[in-house]
Amino acid sequence: MVFSEFNKKVVLITGAAGGIGSALCRKFLENNAIVYQTDIQHIDNPNFIQGDISDQEFIKKLVKQIIEKEGRIDVLVNNAGICPRTSLLDISIDEWRKVLDINLTSMFFLSQAVLKIMIENNSGAIVNLASAAGQVGGIAVGAHYSASKAAIECLTKTFAKNGAPYGIRVNAVAPGVIDTEIHKKSTKEQLEQYKQSIPLGRMGTAEEVANIILVLASDLASFLTGTTIDINGGQIM
């Protein structure tokens, strides 16, 4: 999949060390984008900036560093997130805050900072990672995770409405069961149950999610904003 419009465009991807994040970095680099990557976990990649995305000071430092070097940010992908599977009755206030800070609050304030820059340039695209769990509630995942992902769908619409007058598009993707590190601790029985619940009969891949995100960030989606694309193999229709 080749997108000439990404040539020399500045792309910022959070959660770059994970399965979907690393797939995204590869895809944008293959299309000659200038890709800035961030994660709390270190990875040995060019333009990688390590830090805690839930730290407001780090967000300011991250955006400032990119702008000082490149002068713009053309695409932001809010991919960073954690997914504890703590049961509803056992979630503590500290764990609740941690999940919301990383999954939701960081997405809001990083998008806010980047949107200001995109408004100055009258262009840009933001893609957020929601989840099927945000549409049906958390059963296999924690209630705090599903709540954060539901809120991301709403914030996607809010950012889209504010960015549209300046030619800025904001969309989200809602993956279902994707074969990434989040399922490394799942039993064979659980994995089989997941597959049986999916009409296409298998789990999705990180690359399949990354492909849709590239489309949403590209000119192919030039009239698409404020929407969430489901990527779940038909599990939710």
Tell me the per-residue pLDDT of 11-45, one tens digit each, with 9 for 90 and over. 999 999 999 999 999 999 999 999 999 999 999 99
DSSP label at residue 177: S
Strand partners, 119: none
Q: 36, 145, 166, 194: which is the annotated catalytic residue?
A: 145
Q: 185: pLDDT confidence band, cut at 50, 70 and 90?
A: low
Q: Could you tell me which CATH number the domain at 4-231 has?
A: 3.40.50.720
pLDDT at 152: 98
Q: 189: pLDDT confidence band, cut at 50, 70 and 90?
A: confident
Asked about 145 being catalytic, the answer comes back as yes
Residue 18 burial by CB count (10 A; 0-12/13-18/19+): exposed, middle or buried? buried
Q: 183: pLDDT confidence band, cut at 50, 70 and 90?
A: low
pLDDT at 181: 77
Order across the sheet with 10-14: list the strands. Answer: 48-50, 34-39, 10-14, 75-78, 124-129, 168-175, 228-231
pLDDT tens-digit map of 84-117: 989 999 999 999 999 999 999 999 999 999 999 9
pLDDT tens-digit map of 115-129: 999 999 999 999 999
For the cut 70, the answer to whether the pLDDT of residue 1 exceeds it is no
CB atoms within 10 A of CB 56: 15
What count of Cα atoms within 13 Å lies in the side-chain half-sphere of residue 91?
21
